Amino acid sequence: MFAPLKILVPRSLYARAALILIVPIVTIQLVISIVFIQRHYEGVTQQMVRGLTIELRYLLSEVNGAATGAEAAARALAVGRALDLSTGLPANWPVTDDRREFWDLSGRAVIMALRNSLPELRMVDLTPDNRVRLILTSRHGLVSVAVDRRRVSASNPHQLLVLMIFTSILMTLIAYLFLSNQLRPIKRMADAAEAFGKGQHVPYRPRGALEVRAAGAAFVEMRARIERQIEQRTLMLSGVSHDLRTPLTRLRLGLAMLEDQDAAEDLLRDVADMERLVNEFLSFARGDALEDAEDVDPIALVTRAVENAHRAGQNVALVEVEGQGRMRLRPAAVTRALENLIGNAVRHGRRAEVRVLLADRALRIVIEDDGPGIPADRRDEALRPFTRLDTARNQNRGGGVGLGLAIAKDIARSHGGTLRLGASETLGGLRAEIVLAR
């Protein structure tokens, strides 16, 4: 039921806080304007109009009591001078419909009160500035009467409105400044959490109210715990890497010293496969956790990765570059992700194309190949570690250990981004797109 209203609600915390402040104040102003000003000043206006009505009735009685028109005009002038009324007999202006400005809130009450009290009233004109023009019917013709507007309606409703609006704006500004001071620690914690999701460490100290401090302290503790776990895992895997590579190296040297080299060839290939498997596993598990983010040129990084692949004999080309600028990322990790994706592309196809787009909020890197691609229902499976879809890909070009896409996805996530797989519209093979938050 409230779904359409969600479109009108701002998304930022500061804007919603301002909305929470402004809406009640505006509502209170409207209620006060309608209930107090409309009701109260209409009552005051009616009382003031009744006083003018008494004077107008006296004027009409004097005019109607005159024997001739000249005497009636003289009496109207004398009574008007005594009561501070501008009179005319015959009338000084023509008869028209009742008129008032659309913004004249008390004018409707003035006209209604005069109509109800004076049956002889023919016209009320409230359009002149600070004047009320009337036409009355008498025994000697139409009588025009002009009176100061302040005698029939309160003169300060607009002053009250201006004072109320000014005070409301001032209090809203003070309340917003106070509320923004309370929201600033939440925004800082959100920025620190977002940066941590991108692999960056932003200094943060819990501040603000008790609840905000508690949430900030919990975040700092969680971040420290995750960093300790990553550091411990990396150190452990470094030791495992050394312990595994040492016996593999000894085994390779022992096989190289065998007299029957023909028999040792197969064993050496097995050792090479084991080393490649260990390297890929350690690369996936480590994920460049200890590499610091740097302010680099992503276009130059992608260009360098493509050039390195081209020099290595891979049929890959950088076909499109858009945007310029710098962004914070871990260059070694992103380079490894690009090498994995380009390697997969040229291994399962004949050629690959790379496109890079640097926008205001994200970096998009697209690698496409002309291979068999991956079926849509198996793309999520292909992103899992140690998953090999050799039935869907080209097995004659060599196979990996099922970690290339998983490593690229893990690196993209560590930068606050993602890895998407799809079908290439230009080459007909697989389309791999890395999106990194800027």
Q: CA 252 to CA 335: how far, in whole Å?
A: 30
pLDDT of 152 strictly over 60: yes
CA 10 to chain centroid: 6
pLDDT of 396 strictly over 60: no
pLDDT interval class at 390 (50, 70, 90): low
Q: CA 409 to CA 382: how far, in whole Å?
A: 11
> 3-class DSSP state for residue 168?
helix
pLDDT interval class at 55 (50, 70, 90): very high
Residue 409 buriedness (CB in 10 A; 0-12 / 13-18 / 19+) = buried
Residue 397 is classified by DSSP as G
CA 388 to chain centroid: 41
pTM over 0.75: no
Residue ranges and CATH numbers for the domains of the chain are 10-155 (no CATH), 191-286 (1.10.287.130), 294-437 (3.30.565.10)
Say which residue the tokens 């500004």 belong to. 173
Q: CA 429 to CA 13: how far, in whole Å?
A: 44
The residue that leads in pLDDT, 194 or 368, is: 368
For 204-330, where are the alpha helices, taking DSSP H only?
A: 210-256, 261-286, 298-311
pLDDT digits (tens, 9 = 90+) for 4-54: 556 666 667 777 777 777 778 778 777 777 677 666 677 778 888 888 999
pLDDT digits (tens, 9 = 90+) for 91-134: 888 888 889 887 776 788 888 888 888 999 999 998 887 889 99
Q: CA 328 to CA 298: how far, in whole Å?
A: 9
Residue 84 is classified by DSSP as T
Measured CA to CA in angstroms, residue 305 lies from 283, 300, 302, 343, 351 at distances of 18, 9, 5, 11, 15
Contact 157, 37 (CB under 8 A): yes
- Averaged pLDDT of the chain: 81
pLDDT interval class at 368 (50, 70, 90): very high
pLDDT of 393 strictly over 50: no
